[in-house]
Amino acid sequence: MPKMNMVQALNDALRVALGRDERVVVMGEDVGRVGGVFRVTAGLIEEFGEERVVDTPLNEGGIVGAAIGMALYGMTPIVEIQFGDYLWPAYDQVVNELAKYRYRSGGEYSAGMVIRTPVGGGIRGGHYHSQHPEAPFIHVPGLKVVCPATPHDAKGLLLASVRDPDPVIFLEPKRLYRAAKGEVPDGHYTVPLESARVVRSGPDVTVIAYGAMLYEALDAAAKAAEEGVECTVIDLRTLWPVDIETIAASVRATGRLVVVHEAPRTCGFGAELVALVCERVFYHLEAPPVRVTGFDTPFPYSLEMEYLPLSHRILPAVLEAARS
């Protein structure tokens, strides 16, 4: 089984999707001749041609709007938005059009498509290239939201997203593009959407994370083990619909919960996860749930590592939860 980084795994997934189904089209700014700003689409235009790997104008609303029309006519567009921060010019198209077609047509039109975009900090991108905007999309009925943490899952989740009848917002942690490496099967396979993965097992505290923060949570869990606290660490993979059963089962066993994400704290996805746990397993909780998140500020440039909820911020939260 070949070893790949996340860029290579995503590129392989796109190649497989284009090769399996002639209705699949990759489109976005610089995805063709340039191969994408992070090189995720490198080589695809040479293999599949300009009609299936389409360089678009710099117009995110227009890109997504055109892709919606293509999806309604039976094609499967895979759109690249260069940075998650650039999703906002297309937000109206996503929320008021794409997310509603299946509902408003009584299921006649599903508008299945994927919007890929790099998210998160860790590469000194500053205010306009580092946001992690999952919460506003999770809030919108009709969308699925995915965020892989490993090359294996990146390929399998992307291929599953291409086949899904609902539109998928596919968030790619750019800090992991070349840092995360692992074995990736050849050819076509899928990782089921809505399925979380238990990465580490322990009886004392449940830690939930996704994307780049999974590795920070694992590092904190390893350090907590040195102090006698053993954690279960769960990688959500699909943020919405979330695998609440896996989470609830773990919290029933540990009685304690720590949620980690790098987006700002207020109204972040962590708040929803805490609410879901409290609704389902409140009487199993032995301590208040804890959130370790980004701060309620714009994403900083010079203080990037202070903003991110890295291992040194997660560890005290884990120990506090375990000893409460």
Just list the catalytic residues: 129
Order the strands of the 290-294 sheet from edge to edge.
197-200, 231-235, 205-209, 257-264, 290-294
Strand 257-264 to 3-5 pairing: unpaired
What is the Cα–Cα distance from 191 to 152, expressed in whole angstroms? 9
Q: Are 154 and 13 in contact (CB under 8 A)?
A: yes
From the centroid of its chain, how far is CA 205? 23
Tell me the helix, strand and coil percentages in the chain, rounded to 5: 40, 20, 40
Residue given tokens 């102090």 in the structure block: 227
Rg (CA), the chain: 19
What is the Cα–Cα distance from 288 to 275, expressed in whole angstroms? 12
Tell me the two tokens of residue 89.
Answer: 């010019």
Tell me the two tokens of residue 141.
Answer: 């009925």
Residue 269 phi/psi, 5° resolution? -65, -25
What is the Cα–Cα distance from 5 to 10, expressed in whole angstroms? 9
DSSP 174-243: GGGTTT-EEE--SS-----TT--EEEE--SSEEEEE-TTHHHHHHHHHHHHHHTT--EEEEE-SEEES--
What is the Cα–Cα distance from 23 to 76, expressed in whole angstroms? 6
Tell me the two tokens of residue 223.
Answer: 């350090």
Return the bridge partners of 171, or none: 117
